[in-house]
Amino acid sequence: MVALSSLQAVQFRPPQDLSLHKCRPRSFIKCRIAEPTGEPAPLGQKTKYMDGFFEKAFMTLFARKMEKFAAPAKNGSARIEKGWFDYDYESFVDVSKRVMQGRNRMQQQEVVREILLSMLPPGAPEQFKKLFPPTKWAAEFNAALTVPFFQWLVGPSEVVEVEVNGEKQKSGVHIKKCRYLENSGCVGMCVNMCKIPTQDFFTNEFGLPLTMIPNFEDMSCEMVYGQVPPPFEEDPVAKQPCLADICTIANPNSSFCPKLEA
């Protein structure tokens, strides 16, 4: 169980209407979940998605960037660059796993940082800082953008009210069941390839604090824009054990995921 007591500065308000996760025909951003309910599948079952043009474009863009840092595939075949619609989510996750091979926690996070920077035009971080100084408005605006633009990566989410440093604001994003964690089943991949580098990128490169709080019991996650993340050593995820029931490389004899070692 992940204890979150160290993050007392953040208090989450539960979503008022969980039906927001369901597909709504008139919505501008259509739900891509293929489940009959329009909701993520229950815990223990993998959610089915229908990925369209934009989803596959994002998958391919990130996967191609990551391939440059990835270990060869298990079949030992030579690397052949795939076309723009040859990547699906499973192959995207496979590339992520191969990036982790032979690298420690810090090296994995540095690779993600380099990939994110490579996708931006020169001077983009400085321009972001000018456009979005660390204010309540900037935090709420980026939370609103996260919902449609991160859906391909993490699945359905919604903006929720949070309390940051004693002030209520709608700068939280509730991810009901993270697609990345659900498909990888790996604590280390969640932390090293998503949580920490994303937090660091927004906080250090963009100057807008971001804290991500994954829940490994139900695979949900909270993103809090405006909240300064704790040092890794003080973050509850630092002591998170493997998900032994679903992780193919889990070490049941370790008190925490080996991929979290420095």
Q: What is the pLDDT of residues 35-73, one digit of tens each?
A: 888 899 998 899 999 998 889 889 999 999 999 999 998
Tokens of residue 260, six digits: 């979290």
Question: Has residue 10 got a pLDDT over 60?
Answer: no
Q: Which of 72-86, 134-148, 223-237 has the lowest mean pLDDT?
A: 72-86
160 DSSP β-pair partners:
172
pLDDT band at 86 (very low <50, low <70, confident <90, very high): confident
Q: Is the pLDDT of residue 249 over 80?
A: no
pLDDT at position 84, please?
A: 64
Of the pLDDT bands very low, low, confident and very high (cuts 50, 70, 90), residue 81 is low
Whether 8 has a pLDDT exceeding 70, the answer reads no
The band of 75, judged by pLDDT with boundaries at 50, 70 and 90, is low
4 compared with 159, residue with greater pLDDT: 159
Question: Which of 36-45, 123-132, 171-180, 223-232 has the lowest average pLDDT?
Answer: 36-45
Instruction: Give me the pLDDT at residue 17, please.
Output: 41
What is the residue-averaged pLDDT of the chain?
86
Rounded to an integer, the average pLDDT of 7-22 is: 42
The average pLDDT across 112-123 equals: 95
- Given a cut of 90, is residue 100 above it in pLDDT? yes
Contact 66, 58 (CB under 8 A): no
Residue 94 has pLDDT above 70, yes or no: yes
pLDDT at 1 over 60: no
pTM reported for the whole predicted model:
0.84
pLDDT at 18 over 60: no
Higher pLDDT, 88 or 262: 88
Q: Say how far apart CA 222 and CA 215 lie, in whole Å.
A: 8
**Per-residue pLDDT tens over the stretch 192-225:** 999 999 999 999 999 999 999 999 999 999 999 9
